[in-house]
A and B are shown apart, each in its own frame.
Chain A
Amino acid sequence: MRIQLETDGGFALIPGLSRPLTVDTKELRPVDAAELSRLVEDAGFFARPTSGGEAPAGAADVRRFTLSVVAGARRHTVSFSDPVTDPHLAALRDFVRTHARGG
């Protein structure tokens, strides 16, 4: 399984912090790979709509996150914005940030 996080928007576009972050279970410790699989499962990720929430009207400087997961023949992408109130999406976003190479 491979998961990618893209972050766009925010108070500034910082080139070095705007690169997509990727995590591949093949490169994770088994315990972390199992956790990622569980987070994707718990989130019901593949059944989610592609938009997980838009920024409120009149909002500015909010971030937009895009999570893409590829697992065998299955692939799906979900985008969502600040403020992130869905704990499942927040957990997946934070997992990628913590475990991505160079992240």
Chain B
Amino acid sequence: MCHHAPHRHPILCILPPQILRELARNGTAAERDIALATLATDQTARMTRVTCELQESGAHHALMPAGPARKQRTVYDGGAREALPGRVVRNEGDKATRDAAVNEAYDGLGATWNFYFTAYQRNSIDDRGVRLDATVHYGKRYDNAFWNGQQMIFGDGDGKYFNRFTAALDVIGHELTHGVTGSEARLAYLGQPGALNESISDIFGSLIKQFTLDQTADRADWLIGVGLFSSRVKANGGRAAALRSLKSPGTGYNDPVLGKDPQPAHMADFVHTSRDNGGVHINSGIPNRAFYLAAMAIGGKAWERAGRIWYETIRDRQLKPTAQFADFALRTAMAAGRLYGSASDERTAVLAAWRQVGVTVPSLQAEPHVPASVATVGAAD
């Protein structure tokens, strides 16, 4: 947010800087003091304006000094009420408590901070060192976790179908990544941009788990929310149920009571609905699988190259809040080209991944930063 400059002298503030400098040199003692103070403030005001313009352009990340890079975590106990934030139960550096939900939230916040800082040199979710807050034990038998734009909130689950929502590290990473998206791409939480917003949270939630476990892409389970469902909830093949699968969208759970995971894996099965903000948690399966395919084709640790490409895409100021899947796909291809070269295996993998899920990458010919030869690949289907 841009702040207004502090108070300046009401007359001197309208004078051009050269007049102020003359007054500072040749005016009376009182005039000199006021002129010097106004010049100094004016510099601050100019810097503030410059900062605002840079923030609009996205260049502030490169030019503005970041705050000190250190974790600042606070976990609150909601006491089964729906009031926020609740009572402070663990601050940064405090010893573990006897409450598993508190410790899971604290550790999950820490793992997420470590991931973004180590993998992408990002200083907390806003890249400015913002503190990380979470409330656990929110509401009674509350079976949800959400991001309210400022902090994370976790329920204890209903005890019937859901366990406590701090149980899965990727869910904690998912919620905090909404904060990252909110400070970068600001994708609208509706329809395709909303599904991209959700997909980004699932992808980085999974990467945070893979990073913490030091897993390569081929060793990861690519599941979101293992451990959240109670043991009574069923999945195909007798394996543990999960909320979603990036590898095989639509196979997270298949239960007589809860029904079947409704996620599509391909644009041919895109779900048109007014529910769920236009299916943000449903159609996210499509970009989720595109990332999985790209990460598997690129190989190695998924956060290092595939994750870097997606991370640079959400920081791309040309990515609009209303971006559709194809717009996002184009930006991932461009990011891959910038990072690894237009003829790189990484870029080829990204384009192939989107093609496999039925998302046609628009022609790249109009984009000045990517060689025209790429358009042939992008237009292949």
Contact = CB atoms under 8 A, between A and B. Distances in A.
Interface of A: 8-18, 55-63, 82-85, 90, 94
Main secondary structure of the interface of A (DSSP, over half): loop
B275 interface: yes
A12 to B, nearest CB: 5
Nearest to B145: A11
Given A56-B148, A56-B150, A13 B262 contact: yes
Contacts of A13: 262, 275-276, 279, 281-282
A61 B260 CA distance: 20
Contacts of B143: 17
A7 B233 CA distance: 20
Contacts of B147: 58-61
B182 A9 contact: no
Contact of B146 (A18, A60, A94): A60
Given A8-B276, A15-B258, A17-B161, A82 B282 contact: no
Nearest to A61: B146
A17 B279 CA distance: 15
Q: Report the 9 A-B pairs with minimum CB-CB distance, sorted nearest first.
A: A15-B259, A58-B149, A16-B258, A61-B146, A60-B178, A16-B259, A58-B182, A13-B276, A56-B149
Contact of A83 (B148, B197, B262): B148
B197 A90 contact: no
A15 B150 contact: no
A81 to B, nearest CB: 10
Count chain A CB atoms within 10 A of each CB in B83, B171, B281 and give the residue with the most. Answer: B281
Contacts of B201: 60
B184 to A, nearest CB: 12
Interface in B141-166: 143-150, 153, 161, 165
Given A9-B277, A11-B144, A15-B258, A83 B282 contact: no
Given A14-B259, A15-B262, A84-B82, A62 B146 contact: yes
Contacts of B175: 60-61
Nearest to A94: B140
A63 B258 contact: no
Contacts of B275: 8, 13, 18
Contacts of B262: 13, 15
Contacts of B148: 55-56, 59, 62, 82-83
B189 interface: yes
Contacts of A59: 146-149, 189
Given A85-B83, A90-B82, A12 B140 contact: no
A3 to B, nearest CB: 19
Contacts of B178: 58, 60-61
Contacts of A82: 82, 144, 146, 148, 153
A57 B282 CA distance: 22
B155 to A, nearest CB: 10
A57 B164 CA distance: 26
B244 interface: yes
Contacts of B82: 82-85, 90
Given A12-B244, A55-B148, A58-B150, 16 more contacts: A11-B165, A13-B281, A15-B259, A15-B260, A17-B143, A58-B182, A59-B146, A59-B147, A60-B198, A61-B145, A62-B146, A63-B144, A82-B148, A83-B138, A84-B82, A90-B82
